[in-house]
């Protein structure tokens, strides 16, 4: 973790990362609720919303869209990822070199680590190379810190999420993206464990407005610095409305109810 | 996907790729229907047909033939491939470096990804290196996106082919070569999933003229930008005739029946 | 082992290394006895104690804290490490390149070798690269020499610890960090086996003051040159007091009882 | 396959390669029929015979002998090879870098590919590196194309040998060394499948003069461009005599019987 | 094998290599017969004996001792080695780069190959890199050629040792260190199989003076060029005496009995 290294993808030290790599990770089926989101241009448009501090995409999507949006959107290059067509001990291909991400104008890199996987050691070494290359390019580093695999029964327990946040700190991430561990207290432990590394909550699968915003509010209360979200935005009929509400909860620290009311 | 990166192997944004790596992938047995096609020179001659926007071959064939055809044929360097002498989880050797392909004058690279294979992660990382090297040489990138392997029962279902097309986009291919998913609707889903990445249909094993052309017509109707074909051309007694017909179906968007009639 | 290569992390040829990579190796649970130690800044403050000759941390913690402490603390860059979220034959990811450690101002590198693991060969080769890079940067080399894994029943027997110390010498470490083998005589064997490579005792899990200091005294009597300690310092309510006592036992070669009395 | 790349190891487009890597592949037991052939100098002397267009040896033998023979013998650097002390899925170590082979004055490289082995993919990628390095040094490329391993029951069937010859072409070899597939017709198929890549027959284990020469005659009749032979030369009491006869069969296309009579 | 490449570690073409890597390979237990030999300085002193043409040690021992002995002792850098703490298919870590060995002033490199191991292919490729790097530095190359592992029942049979010696030649070693195959005749076969590569006998575990010297005499009679010995020297109470005797047997080709008598 390097102070201020993430400034290009944060706003007043907070972050709302619009994640859009579901086409690779889950397949086009994730776009069925709102078929127009199959088109990356539609989601880049969304990312121009003031609430969004960065968009996270894979290389091919960035190549196609980023040249048209580089003045309006901060690019978080999601370096690794894989399909769910295969089943096995969790792993992720590094699909993008940091040098090429920098050449395309990326502001930061994103990298998944499956702590607890039999592939943890290899993934951590790939992360090392990416993190140090990002430092050479003055790019921030976000870790998707997702314990998963061999022997991990409950991957959102308080201890597991605190551990995940700590791994992000110790290995050199500026921002740790972790799942919500179920309570504000558990999130506080994760935030403390990450120390100077910022913690952002992972949005997860789509839930209703209040439940979703309430979880975000709880995370912010616990000291989290924001959210990385995909489906809970782009699978809604009115994604702008939820972004408006998220802006209030994250940056203005309004309550979920108040934010929801104000943006209805 | 990078706009216009594939211009050297397309014609008016459409593509008819003559694929000729069957000697490696299947063995000389594929040349038995028309033995003279064992000789690469014969197939390079075919590739001079106006309908053909590029020929896809392995390195050794390109070394032997391309110097004689570089003014008349666009070269798509098929970088990986393997024999069918071994059986195992799908994989493919990278037989050709991009730098050497560029030195021989290749206009684009072709690369197979077996999504869903236990080797997907490794293949995706090999693709990364190849794709970024192609960018440095201003060469287009075509992905043979073929889900195959562990746990994949039906590799031409609509969802699988749409996923395959999406992988090509997200990982950075300019053109996705996918199998025909059985219907125009399914092909439309694949085309939409690929967004700005062009989709071309894979020709597959030899079928009769009308059935074959009808499938191509359906793919074009669905928004596909063309065809990559081998056996359905070179295993015919009169390959020029089918190329004439394909030219009408692909570039002029004629119906299969009309094209067939006009070229008989 | 290269004479004087470790001078930046020793004091009069002795060493008290404050180890603080437990957040990665064991998780935040190790900070529960004294929750404020979750914050790396708190432990870096401790490291400014005169008794401490170096602090050993992972990359991310060094990035965040070392710029504020570089005039007061010597940095031992712990290059490899892994979580205990996975279970398998012992292994450790190399999380930090030596070049980057040097850039951050590290004075020496630390590296775990699990001799006896099925991964020993690979780990030894990673150590080779790290050790030689450290030589190029005039940095000292500390090996956490911890026999562990396949077939090793008792990893603190006299023979195993002497072997561990010898591995550190033969492979090129300046300091060998080994577990206490249970007796002064066994520690003497380890010290002799290491020859010119200094041996420091590993602190292990927390024990009571006298028992802990008594073991340190025994190790020093046996010729060990110090201690690498984490939990036995930062899990105490009054870590400064135990550091005061350790200073007397290690550098002044006082007895445990006398040191304890003087610092109460 | 690159036109004329093999000119330094052929004579009038034909080749008689004296192979002498049996000490590595089979052990010294292959020298027992004529013990003096244990000494590489003896076999290099043989290689000065006019019939021999190149000698194929491993690195250590070349280092010791080639400086004395570089004016009289063409050197084919056999890059990979392994002992038969281990048993397992066929594989071969790359024992020699192309750069070092070039430095020693090698005229071409030789490389074994075990098509059909579980190691085919890895071996093909090693071949890629070697083949492209050979191109940079203007050295010819010979592939020992030997389908072997998992699931291959009869590795000299017509289809397998034709496939082996085709692999050599597609992967970029100038000369394919294949086993005799049992008949002139089968050899013709192999020769056609290799197209512009020259096919040479592998000599195999020692047989009697007429049977051996008859097979060579049949291969030449089928369009093969020569022979790579070891034991059928150096295990004979009078190796010069068989070389005299081979010269007639290969370069002058005499019949086996006539050549045998003329050289008795 | 390159003529004269080993001149810095031989004397009149003969060699007595004092091997001292037992602390890594077997552990400190090998020093128990004469505990003072735990200290590398003691063994380097021994190596100044006129009979010793080189000392073979691992990197860490060389770093500590060689600067004090570089005028009196030739350094044979034993590049690979591993502990016996793990059990598995024979393998050995490369602990030392050739470049760094050269920087320390090494005169030659030593490398173990376990022919017949499932790791033979990988070890041979590591040897290739080391051997070619040694050539760039004009350093000699010694192979510890030790068939071992999967399926090798009797690793000192005449055929196995002759094969081991041959592997050393073909792969490019200047000196092959092999085990004594049980008889003078078997050793002759090994010596002939190695051709211009010198063969030295491996000393093995400690035996009585006459038995040991008798075996050396037999090896020398068979054409071996010397001995690589550790325990049979440093585990004796009077190692200088046995070195005096070895000098007579190896360099003066005296009989074991006469040499023993003269040095008593």
Residues forming beta bridges with residue D144, ordered by sequence position: D112, D177
In angstroms, what separates the C-alpha of D123 from chain E's closest C-alpha? Answer: 12
Q: What CA–CA distance (Å, rounded) separates A119 from A150?
A: 10
Question: Range with the lowest mean pLDDT among B135-144, C145-154, D84-93, E53-62?
Answer: C145-154
The tokens describing B43, both together, are 């197939």
* Residue whose entry in the numeric block shows the structure tokens 């044929």: B73
**Mean pLDDT score of chain C, rounded to an integer?**
97
The two tokens of residue E112 are 């173990």
Q: Which of B177, B179, B198, B225 is catalytic?
A: B177
Strand partners, E116: none
**pLDDT confidence of residue E155:** 86
Cβ count within 10 A of residue D45: 17
The residue of chain E nearest to residue C121, with distances taken between CA atoms, is: E93
Q: Which among D40, D83, D94 has CB closest to E195? A: D40
Cite the active site residues of D: 177
Locate the chain D residue with the closest alpha carbon to E128. Answer: D95
* R_g of chain E, CA atoms, integer Å: 17
Whats the size of chain C, residue-wise? Answer: 264
Which residues does chain C have within 8 Å of residue A117's beta carbon, measured at their own beta carbons? Answer: 86
Cα separation, D172 vs D170, whole angstroms = 6
pLDDT at B184 over 80: yes
pLDDT of residue D154: 72
Q: What is the pLDDT of residue C154?
A: 72
**Contacts of residue D131 in chain B, CB cutoff 8 Å?**
59
Looking at residue B204, its pLDDT comes to 85
Q: Is E189 an interface residue toward D (CB < 8 Å)?
A: yes
Is residue C49 less than 8 Å (CB to CB) from chain E? no
Share of chain D above pLDDT 70, in %: 100
- Report how far apart, in Å, the C-alpha atoms of B145 and of each of B111, B129, C12, C168, C216 are: 8, 17, 64, 49, 62
Structure tokens at D66: 């080639």
Chain A nearest-CA distance from B197, in A, is 9
- Chain-chain contact of D86 with E196 (C-beta, under 8 angstroms): no
Residue D236 at interface with chain B, using a CB cutoff of 8 Å: no
pLDDT of residue C155: 86
Distance (Å, whole) CA E48 – CA E70: 10
pLDDT at D151: 75
Q: Which residues of E touch D87 (CB under 8 A)?
A: 150-151
Looking at chain A, which subunits does it touch, using at least 3 CB pairs closer than 8 Å as the criterion? B, C
Task: Write out pLDDT tens, residues D214-252.
Answer: 999 999 999 999 999 999 999 999 999 999 999 999 999
Chains C and B touch (3+ CB pairs under 8 A): no
C-beta separation of D200 from D15 below 8 A:
yes
Residue A23 near residue B169, CB atoms below 8 Å: yes
The per-residue pLDDT for range D114-131, each reduced to its tens digit, is 999 999 999 999 999 999
The predicted structure's pLDDT at residue B150? 83
* Alpha helices (H) along chain C: 22-25, 40-47, 59-69, 98-103, 120-136, 158-171, 184-194, 209-221, 231-234, 239-251, 256-263
Which whole number is the average pLDDT over D11-24?
Answer: 98
Angstrom CA distances, A80 to A21, A93, B144, B170, stand at: 10, 5, 20, 11
pLDDT in tens, B80-106: 999 999 999 999 999 999 999 999 999
Cα of B96 to nearest chain A Cα, Å: 20
Nearest to D195 among B39, B87, B91 (CB): B39
Put simply, whether E35 touches C (Cβ < 8 Å) is yes
Give me the phi and psi of D258, to 5 degrees please.
Answer: -65, -40
- Are B86 and D166 a contacting pair at CB < 8 A? no
Size of interface A-C (CB pairs under 8 A): 114
Per-residue pLDDT tens digits for C101-126: 999 999 999 999 999 999 999 999 99
| Per-residue model confidence (pLDDT) at position B142 | 98
The full length of chain B comes to 264
Strands D80-81, D93-94: parallel, antiparallel or unpaired by DSSP? antiparallel
Closest residue in A to B134 (Cα) is A100
Q: Within its chain, how far is the Cα of D101 from the centroid? A: 17
**CB-side exposure of A22: number of CA atoms within 13 Å?**
24
Work out the mean pLDDT of chain D and round it to a whole number. Answer: 97
Q: What is the dihedral of CA C54, C57, C60, C66, to 10 degrees?
A: -10
Residue E168 φ then ψ, to 5°: -60, -45
Q: In C, residues 53-72, which contact A (CB 8 Å cutoff)?
A: 57-61, 63-64
Considering the candidates C59, C177, C179, C198, report the single residue annotated as catalytic: C177
Chain position carrying tokens 């609707």: B185
Are the Cβ atoms of D93 and E125 closer than 8 angstroms?
yes
Share of chain E above pLDDT 70, in %: 100
pLDDT one-digit tens code per residue, E103-160 = 999 999 999 999 999 999 999 999 999 999 999 999 999 999 999 998 787 789 999 9
Both tokens assigned to C84: 């205990």
Q: Is C89 on the interface with E (CB under 8 A)?
A: no
**Residues lower than pLDDT 70 in chain A:** none
D contacts of E151 (beta carbons < 8 Å): 85-87
Residues in chain E within 8 Å Cβ distance of D29? 159
Contact yes or no for E116/E148 (Cβ under 8 A): yes
C129 touches chain A (CB under 8 A): no
HEC profile of chain B: CCCCCCHHHCECCEEEEEECCHHHHCCHHHHCCCHHHHCHHHHHHHCCCCCCCEEEECHHHHHHHHHHHCCCCCEEEECEECCCCCCCCCCCEECCCHHHHHHCCCCEEEEEECCCCCCHHHHHHHHHHHHHHHHHCCCEEEEEECCCCCCCCCCCCHHHHHHHHHHHHHHCCCEEEECCCCCHHHHHHHHHHHCCCEEEEECCCCCCHHHHHHHHHHHHHCCCCEEEECHHHHCCCCHHHHHHHHHHHHCCCCCHHHHHHHHC
3-state SS assignment for residue C159: helix
Identify the pLDDT of residue E1: 92
pLDDT at E151: 75
ipTM score: 0.97
User: Which other chains touch chain C, taking contact as 3+ CB pairs less than 8 Å apart?
Assistant: A, E
Could you tell me the pLDDT band of residue E254, with boundaries at 50, 70 and 90?
Answer: very high
C125-179 pLDDT, tens per residue? 999 999 999 999 999 999 999 999 987 877 899 999 999 999 999 999 999 999 9
The CA distance from E93 to the nearest CA of chain D, in Å, is: 17
DSSP A30: G
Interatomic CA distance for residues E192 and E194, integer angstroms: 5
Does any CB of chain D come closer than 8 Å to the CB of residue E124? yes
Alpha helices (H) in chain D, listed in sequence order = 22-25, 40-47, 59-69, 98-103, 120-136, 158-171, 184-194, 209-221, 231-234, 239-251, 256-263
> Token pair of C209, please?
């003051």
Interface probe for E, chosen from C5, C117, C120, C121 (most Cβ of E below 10 Å), is C121
The length of chain D in residues reads: 264
**Which among C160, C170, C193 has CB closest to E60?**
C170
Show Cβ contacts of residue C208 under 8 Å, excluding neighbours closer than 6 positions: none
- Candidates E21, E24, E60, partner chain C, best to mutate (most C CBs within 10 A): E60
Residue in D with minimal Cα distance to B95: D128
HSE, side-chain direction, 13 A CA sphere, residue D14: 21
Q: Which helix (H) or strand (E) holds E16?
A: strand E15-19
B127 to chain A: nearest residue by CA? Answer: A95
Contact B39 D128 (CB under 8 A): no
Q: Give the Cα separation of A75 and A53 in Å (integer).
A: 9
How many Å apart are CA B195 and CA B250, to the nearest integer?
19
Whether the CB of E192 is below 8 Å from some CB of chain C: the reply is no
Q: Pick from D1, D124, D160: which is nearest to B95 by CB?
A: D124
Residue of chain C minimizing CA distance to E26: C163
Q: Chains E vs A: touching, with 3+ CB pairs under 8 Å?
A: no
For β-strands E93-94 and E80-81, DSSP reports them as antiparallel
Query: Does residue B94 sit at the D interface (CB-CB below 8 Å)?
Result: yes
| Exposure string over A175-214, b if 16+ CB within 10 A, otherwise e | bbbbbbbeebebbbbbbbbbbbbbbbbbbeebeebeebbb
| Chain C contact for E40 (CB, 8 A cutoff) | yes
The answer, yes or no, to whether E and D have at least 3 beta-carbon pairs within 8 Å is yes
Beta strands in A74-230 (DSSP E): 75-78, 80-81, 93-94, 108-113, 140-145, 175-178, 198-202, 226-229
Interface of E with D in 163-182 (CB under 8 A): 163, 166-173
Q: Where residue B155 falls among pLDDT bands split at 50, 70, 90? A: confident
- Asked whether the beta carbons of residue A40 and residue B195 sit closer than 8 angstroms, the reply is yes
What's residue D204's pLDDT? 85
Whether residue D98 contacts residue D127, with contact meaning beta carbons closer than 8 Å, is answered with no
Find the closest chain C residue to E95 by CA distance.
C128
**pLDDT(E250) > 80:** yes
Contact B120 A86 (CB under 8 A): yes
Cβ of residue A19 closer than 8 Å to a chain C Cβ: no
Q: Give the residues across from E78 on adjacent strands.
A: E110
For B3-54, how does the pLDDT look when each residue is reduced to its tens digit (9 = 90+)? 999 999 999 999 999 999 999 999 999 999 999 999 999 999 999 999 999 9
């Amino acid at each position: 973790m390097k102070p201020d290294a993430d400034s290009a993808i944060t706003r007043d030290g907070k972050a709302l990362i619009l994640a859009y790599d579901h086409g690779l990770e889950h397949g086009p089926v994730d776009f069925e609720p709102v078929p127009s989101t199959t088109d990356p241009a539609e989601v880049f448009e969304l990312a121009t919303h003031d609430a969004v501090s960065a968009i996270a995409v894979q290389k091919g999507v960035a190549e196609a869209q980023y040249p048209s949006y580089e003045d309006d959107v901060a690019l978080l290059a999601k370096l690794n990822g894989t399909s769910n067509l295969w089943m096995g001990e969790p792993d992720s291909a590094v699909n993008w070199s940091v040098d090429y991400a920098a050449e395309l104008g990326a502001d930061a890199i994103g990298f998944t680590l499956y702590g607890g996987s039999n592939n943890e050691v290899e993934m951590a070494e790939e992360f090392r190379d990416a993190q140090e290359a990002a430092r050479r390019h003055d790019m921030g580093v976000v870790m998707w810190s997702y314990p998963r695999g061999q022997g991990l029964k409950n991957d959102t327990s308080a201890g597991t999420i605190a551990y995940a946040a700590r791994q992000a700190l110790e290995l050199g991430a500026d921002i740790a993206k972790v799942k919500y561990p179920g309570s504000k207290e558990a999130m506080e432990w994760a935030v403390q464990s990450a120390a100077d590394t910022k913690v952002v909550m992972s949005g997860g699968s789509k839930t209703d407005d209040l439940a979703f915003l309430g979880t975000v509010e709880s995370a912010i209360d616990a000291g989290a610095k924001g959210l990385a979200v995909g489906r809970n935005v782009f699978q809604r009929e009115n994604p702008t409305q939820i972004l408006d509400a998220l802006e209030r909860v994250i940056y203005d620290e309004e309550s979920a109810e108040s934010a929801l009311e104000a943006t209805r």
